[in-house]
Amino acid sequence: MNQTRAVLFLPDEASCEGVVRPLMLQSVLFCPLLTWVGKTLMARSIQRFFVVWDKEEYAAELRGCFPAEADVLVSGSREALMDFLSQEGEVEVFPCEMLPLQLPGGSCYAYTAQASALRESWREGSGGAVPGARELTGFTAVYDLPRLREMELSCRDEIVRRHAAAGVHILDGSSVYIDPRVEIGAGTVVLPGTILRGETTIGRDCEIGPNAMIRDCTVGDGTTVNASQANESTIGSRVKVGPFAYIRPGCVIGDDIKVGDFVEVKNSVIGDGTKISHLTYVGDSDVGQKVNFGCGTVTTNYDGFKKYRCTIGDRAFIGCNTNLIAPVTVGEGAYTAAGSTITDEVPADALAVARARQKNLEGWAARRRALHAEKKD
């Protein structure tokens, strides 16, 4: 049975003085070099990998550089390598650290050969040319960490070119940094100062930036993220985020939502059409559709020992400077009066007022000023 496989050799000596981690685990644009290589090879339908590494240390991390569906063996065993080559078919071989990028003047030692030829050559340990081997293109050898850092900007430029060719408008390619794992839909505009990293997917016709950082997120179509950060969350379509918003891990933010300036959302579900316009913290909460948060709202979800959740029903109106003391539920269509501290359930369509009644002390300010004037004399 013909199979296309890959063998990657990782030298065990340090590539740079003071650096103990394998060079293939060093990050290039937030992504381990080995992940770059694995992603490129899997795009060419290679599913089976043998990583030659004879130490238990870092073995799990090396395996983790590949998607879960990849068949990866990390081992320094010659017998295991011969078994990997026991089935006929082509094998791509990477005898040293490689970057999946063809640079002018860069050396490429990668090649492809039949498994039987590799088996015979490596069993004898001849170290010479493998019969029938053909050079691979599209890779550049990486000798050490300084060389890798020199190549990083070339990697950035190549990623920018790839996205531009797919219909993404990147206004200034020299001022954005995009992880190779990131996917961006056509029609999206990426503005200066943007950092996109991890397993992030951006939809079509979005506007990202300026000065935005998105990590391990899924962002729907037509969404704007302006001068804000989002981490490990799902953001729907036609959402407006920022400026200066912070979406922390564990959030599911629906469609047609506003997460405005100086808003922080953490581990919360936000229903479609909800508006969180400014100066608000929503943590550990389940929020319905078309809820309005007034300025200064806080879900007080932590008592120093445990986190508790708030539940806010559809079309609720949360007045400015409301404190919601979790666990608490605000029913559908309910209102909270501005300045209230809500500790008990608010029934649907009710108004909750939880504040002291105003009391005016006539003449108090004049008497106070007079008293202080006497003290100065």
The DSSP line for 213-236 is EEES-EE-TT-EE-S-EEES-EE-
Write the CA distances from 298 to 17, 265, 266, 291, integer angstroms. Answer: 50, 10, 12, 14
3-state secondary structure 38-72: HHHHHHCCCCEEEEECCCCCCHHHHHCCCCCCCEE
Q: Which residues pair with 338 in a beta bridge?
A: none
Is 218 within 8 Å of 205 (Cβ atoms)? Answer: no
Residue 242 token pair:
């920022």
**Residue 242 Rama label (left phi>0; alpha psi -120 to 50; beta):** left
Q: Count CB atoms within 10 A of the CB of residue 107.
A: 12
Residue 60 token pair:
């799990």
Eight-state DSSP code of residue 346: B
Residues with catalytic annotation?
278
Triad 273, 274, 280: Cα angle to 5°? 155
CA distance 94 to 34: 11
